[in-house]
Amino acid sequence: MSKVYKMIVGVADRFVPGAMRPMWEHPAGPKTIFFWAPACKWSLVIAGLGDLTRPVENLSIRQSASLAATGLVWSRYSLVIIPKNYSLFAVNVFVALTSSYQLIRAYKYHSELEAQKGAQKEEQ
């Protein structure tokens, strides 16, 4: 696979305009894993956005919490490493935001359920 990728990059290299050369040649540019890992991680953000319409009772608090936590951890890491990887930072901020929103939705739902159960016990 590495030989195929290098061949594709070699062919594409001839067509990159001069204005895009700095981004193309950057240590976190499309020629490296530092570009492709964050690019693929956007699928987590897309899935999180798709889950905004999911019924709140089907949300997992543990999954949302772990995604929010990893988004925060990797956001920090992306600004500490050399070279700084701003695309990794951006994707992880969005992962943290979408997961945090889902976590808040799920937490509010479960809190309301507990309050309803408490009210029902008081009535009995």
Q: pLDDT tens digit string along 64-110?
A: 999 999 999 999 999 998 888 888 999 999 999 999 999 999 999 99
Residues 25 and 86 in one domain: no
Q: Dig out the tokens for 95 from the structure.
A: 């992962």
- Are residue 60 and residue 116 in the same domain, yes or no? yes
Give the residue-averaged pLDDT of 29-54. Answer: 86
Q: Which residues have a Cβ under 8 Å from the Cβ of 94 and sit 6 or more positions away?
A: 42, 45, 48, 71
Q: pLDDT-based confidence at 55, cuts 50/70/90?
A: very high
16-30, 48-62, 94-108: which is most confident: 94-108
Same domain, yes or no: 47 and 4: no
Same domain, 38 and 95: yes
Which domain, by its residues, includes 52? Answer: 32-123
CATH of the domain at 116: 1.20.1280
**Do residues 5 and 22 share a domain?**
yes
Average pLDDT, the chain: 88
pLDDT surpassing 60 at residue 42: yes
CA distance 123 to 104: 29
Structurally, how many domains does the chain consist of?
2
Q: b/e map of 17-29 (b: 16 or more CB within 10 Å)?
A: eeeeeeebebebb
**Do 71 and 23 lie in a common domain?**
no
pLDDT-based confidence at 1, cuts 50/70/90?
low
CA–CA gap between residue 118 and residue 23 (Å, rounded): 58
Q: What is the pLDDT of residue 66?
A: 95
Say whether both 50 and 1 belong to one domain. no
- Comparing CA positions, the residue from 42, 41, 21 lying closest to residue 31 is 21
